[in-house]
Amino acid sequence: MHLDLTDRVVVVTGAARGIGATIAARFHQEGCRVVALDLAFDGLDAAEPSALPLDRVRCNVADPDSVRAAVDEVVARHGTIDVLVNNAGINVEGAVADLRWDDWRRCMDVNLGGTFLMSQAVAPVMQAAGRGRIINAASFAAIVPSVGSAAYAASKSAVVAFTRVLASELGPWDITVNAYAPGMVPTAMNGFAAMPAEAQDRLLDTLSLRRWETADDVADLLVFVASDAAGYVTGTLLDVSGGKLATQIPARAHGR
């Protein structure tokens, strides 16, 4: 199957570093016109995927004025937006008893509010074109949350519900809206790869495919979802977690 995304205008939020940078780079490799949105493009390492010569626009996804200005800028430069990847997100950890209201609100404002604001701003552009793809970052935490992740898990679960509603609301314009749930991609935010070996083993033992996920694993899925081949997939949460907890003890199949 040849997934031809040549010349599609793709907007990726939170694209300066990490998974977002890899997603933006992958769409660039597919021949798309990629616009990377973020607040922090300064001081990028030359090895970062986002160091590619991508179109960049500074944007705070939790600020309605910043979002509107960024979307207007993208449309002014490229004429339309074919694909929106709402990747920007933050993690807030802490037991419910200890969570500060400001931290809870910040997590909701970025993870859920940013997805809402970007989608709301981009939807009219796609409606005018009569087609489009909106792809929202959820998390495996929206499927099975962890102790101490109330703010993060709640925000990502809300993204899934928002995705379903928006999919139906935009269906008449042939716009698909889906969410994706990565599992364990080692990043600076989670520090998985820096954990002691025993701690890493405990996490890897929850996976049917017993290896750390890579940002490329996520990007592979998103390229498909953005393509014409996924035109009848909408309103769903796509699990790209390597079969995390697909069975109660998947490590048994690996002889552990």
Distance, in Å, from the CA atom of 110 to the CA atom of 14, rounded to the nearest integer, reads 10
Cα separations in angstroms, 76 against 71, 73, 79, 92, 125: 9, 5, 6, 35, 11
Give the bridge partners for 12, in sequence order.
Answer: 36, 85
The reply to whether 232 belongs to the active site is no
Q: Under DSSP, is residue 45 helix (H, G, I), strand (E, B) or coil?
A: coil
Give the bridge partners for 10, in sequence order.
Answer: 34, 83
Among 152, 213, 237, 241, the active-site one is: 152
Q: Under DSSP, is residue 35 helix (H, G, I), strand (E, B) or coil?
A: strand
Name the helix (H) or strand (E) containing 170: helix 150-170
Q: Cβ distance 80 to 112 under 8 Å? A: no
Q: Under DSSP, is residue 5 helix (H, G, I), strand (E, B) or coil?
A: coil
What is the set of active-site residues?
152
